[in-house]
Amino acid sequence: MSTYKGTIGILTGGGDVPGLNPAIRAITLRALKEGYRVLGIRRGWAGIVDVIPEDGEGQEEHIIELDAMTVNKVGRSGGTFLHTSRTKPSRLPRAYIPDHIKDQYTDEINDVTPQVLKNIESLGIDYLIPIGGDDTLSYGARLHEEGVKVVAIPKTMDNDVPGTDYCIGFSTCLTRTIELTHRLRTTAGSHERFLIIEVFGRYAGFTALLPTMGGAANRCVIPEHPLDVELLCELLTEDRNENPSNYSVVLVSEGATLAGDAGMHFEDGETDQYGHKKLGGIGSQIGRLLKDLSPKYNNGRSINVVSQQLSYLMRSGDPDALDSIVPMVYGNIAFDCISAGHSGRLVNLRNGTYDNVPIDVVMGKKVIDVAKYYNTERLRPLYKTFSGHPLFVMA
């Protein structure tokens, strides 16, 4: 007979970020201390889909039992040792249906939630803690509606999960962006060029706006406001002329669009299970346009461009201080909810205070309030006073 108070399942979904392992560590150590069993679900929602209930304990490929030694070993590192995926069980392509249930799900796109519920029950999971962005957590909200006890933790480089001022990974993203942008200045200055840096940010421009406010760039381009390239070229040329080293810098969100253009710039036409195409290339496109336009604003002389995608450099490596501390707190608050018998919650940080809110808040969208925080005529952060604002200002 089991002596556990209950069983907690943890998974990480979507893109990896620094801070996931510290969160898993915090939950596990607290839960073990309080008498719970902790299961790590591998590869996000894919792991819970692939479980074979009839196998009983033989699920090592998909489920691992977590102990103090395991989580302490990886708790200070980046990435997620549980691995991750962009699997969406409510829209699973037939090619991803596990062999043992292929005869039950024969459509091109399938909702395998009934099987997920069966698998959760077979594993004896009393509470499920998904750590992810709005895509991962939206399915967590679905499971909550189906009766699963879910306590969610927000994670994303873009900081765009609604209901919280902070998502795990955001601080390290800002730190990397500022650091790498400053490193690239030596090349831009040596050649007297425009420096265009493409950063993450599909729908929200926090990862471009905040580093610009911190002095990483002269201008920024965000998804919430279509770009007038002529205006950007004029402003960057002014910035370059005022710089003793004759260069200027702009940060471009990957989800940015051009005024009058069809939409976002994608690497290819392939979509993931959440309907997202892989973004990339808008920075290079803007760079080409800027070079072509530059003679108009530079006495007939062309200005060359350095264009760089930071891409996975922003999410790689170890967490910074905030992404070591916040995940630890989030993990403990998630367990506090479980200990109090609460579920259907999202752990959050609001105006400097840790708390939790209903999980269905993740079904909305969190983007920058352009009128409040972005100067569309100067392509810069807009602020009049910082008094009363939270840590990262643009909540």
Task: Check if the beta carbon of residue 363 is closer than 8 Å to that of residue 141.
Answer: yes
| Phi, psi (degrees; rounded to nearest 5) at 192 | 55, 55
Half-sphere exposure of 163 (CA within 13 A, CB side): 23
Structure tokens at 289: 């346009």
| 3-class SS of residue 19 | coil
| 3-class SS of residue 181 | helix
Residue 309 to residues 4, 203, 212, 281, 312, Cα–Cα distance (Å): 48, 17, 16, 8, 9
Using CB atoms within 10 Å of the CB of residue 270, give its burial: 0 to 12 exposed, 13 to 18 middle, 19+ buried. Answer: exposed
- Contacts of 190 by beta carbon, 8 Å cutoff, 6+ apart: none
Distance CA 26, CA 3 (A): 22
Distance CA 139, CA 131 (A): 11
Q: Give the containing element (helix H, strand E) for 381.
A: strand 380-381
Instruction: Calculate the CA 97 to chain-centre distance.
Output: 26
| Residues with catalytic function | 158
Half-sphere exposure of 192 (CA within 13 A, CB side): 11
DSSP states along 301-320: ----EEEEE-GGGGT-S---
